[in-house]
Structure formats: C-alpha cells, structure tokens
Amino acid sequence: MLRELITMNADATQNPFRRALGRDRPLLGIWSMLNSSTVVEGLAQSHFDWLLIDGEHSPVTLSDAISHLRAMQGSSTIPVIRIAWNDPVLIKQTLDAGAQTLMLPFVQTKAEAERAVAAMRYPPDGIRGLAAIHRASRYGRDGTYFAEAQHTVALIAQIETVTALENLEEIAAVDGVDAVFFGPGDLAASLGLRGQPAAEPVVAAIMNGRERLRDLPAAAGVLASTPELAERYIEAGFDFVAVANDAAILFRGADTIADRFRSLARSHVADARNG
C-alpha cells in the first residue's frame, strides 16, 4: 500500500528518501556517530541506501552537519539528519542548512507530531521562518525553493516510549509524517529493560508496532542492535532498517584485534621466559 500511495503522489518524487521508499526493497542504512566527514564520505561510497547523521547522541553541530552533507554529495546514499530534539528552531536551522530528511527523537503524541510538521512547513501551512538566502535555496539562486520546499522535505518521527507506542497510529496518520522509526534503546528503558534493546519484549513491541502500521501510508523503520535482529526486521517487512553503526564497527573491530594480538604477544613472552 505504501508504495502504491507514493507512486500515485507526484510530490513524493521530490524528496529522495520518499522516492527511494517506492522501490521494491527495504532501504538499508548505517548510523554515523563518529562526527567525521571523512568517515561519512567513505561510508557514502559503501552503497548503503541511507546514512543517519546523529545529532542527538553525538557532538554534531550545525556546521558539522553541513560538512557531512557536502561529503555525501555525488553519492547515491541518502542523508538523514537526526536533530537533538523536536524543536522548531532546530528544525528551521537544519532545513535552511540543506537537509531534506529529518529524524526527530521522542515524538510521543499526535500533537507533538503535528507541531513537528508545522515546523517543517512555511506559512500559511506551518510556522517555518523564511529567509531569502541560505544553503537550501542555493543561497537565494533557486527561485522555486519556497514554492517547492514543502514537497522536498521529509519527516521521520521516532517512537521511543510506551506512550508513543500507545499513540502510534495517531502519530503515523498525521499528514506530513512520512515515516516512523522505532528506537529500541529508549523503548527498552521505557519498558523497564534499560540497556537491553535486543530483549525479546522490546523486539515483540516493535514487531507489533510494525503490524499496526500495515494499513497506514507512513513508512516503518527501525534500528537493529545486532545483525541477527537486522535480518528479523527485514524479514518482518520493515521499509527501512539501520543495520550498522560506524562507531560500533570501529570500536568492536579494534577490541577484537587488540584481544587477538594481546593474547599472542603474552603467549610469546611466556614462551620466551620458559625457554
């Protein structure tokens, strides 16, 4: 149903994330927390469908986000920026900086989703402040920007609490919410399972949420904390799945290498002493 609605809606093709959601496959993404434009540039060439620049739990400033967007120019990977909060000022600044697809954390009610949509849109449809010159309008050179901006941006609302789950259908049905995204870390904490995003009750709640969205136009996404969970979520029919995290790849890989060669080095020293 989602793909049929996107195909029928000409406006959907103006945002790269919505356009990609119309393809016949789930979109596979990678989470970027390292706040390095070099890393982002390299990851954008790894053929993930989308890349999340994390401005909530990483020290990503607006200037950093612009650098990351520039690093991704020319690649087929779609940038998604998660801002620190569902705040109209942050939304305005990030859209002016050239971001087209935003992920907003901790959206818990229909009213909060509606306020987010309003912040994404210019008057009279919303409250986004209008500036004549900014990066998104090619510094004022794009004469069609103000007329087309509402169709070129996309909003992903994060579902991260029991309250949000209770209000899931209402949030997803808000006009202007293109997708909802289940955040297992905060959801686990809300369920009394802090630090256990892969716990079965958390997974079950997310799976149930996905089923409840089947007949709604909003897409459903999720962050997978393990490769095994990523496979389960893909098989469950999620429209987009974050399957990896750049910080986890680096640090877990480094730990594995350090452990391997530390053991070898200690074994060598022990053999030398015994010999």
pLDDT in tens, the chain (275 residues): 444 444 334 455 699 999 999 886 799 999 999 999 999 999 999 999 999 999 999 999 999 999 999 999 999 999 999 999 999 999 999 999 999 999 999 999 999 999 999 999 999 999 999 999 999 999 999 999 999 999 999 999 999 999 999 999 999 999 999 999 999 999 999 999 999 999 999 999 999 999 999 999 999 999 999 999 999 999 999 999 999 999 999 999 999 999 999 988 887 766 667 76
Q: What distance in Å separates the CA atoms of residue 134 and residue 95, rounded to the nearest whole number?
A: 9
| pLDDT at residue number 8 | 35
Domain boundaries, the chain: 2-274
Residues assigned a catalytic role = 57
- pLDDT value of position 4: 40
Residue 1's pLDDT is: 43
Indicate the fold that domain 2-274 takes in CATH. Answer: TIM Barrel (3.20.20)
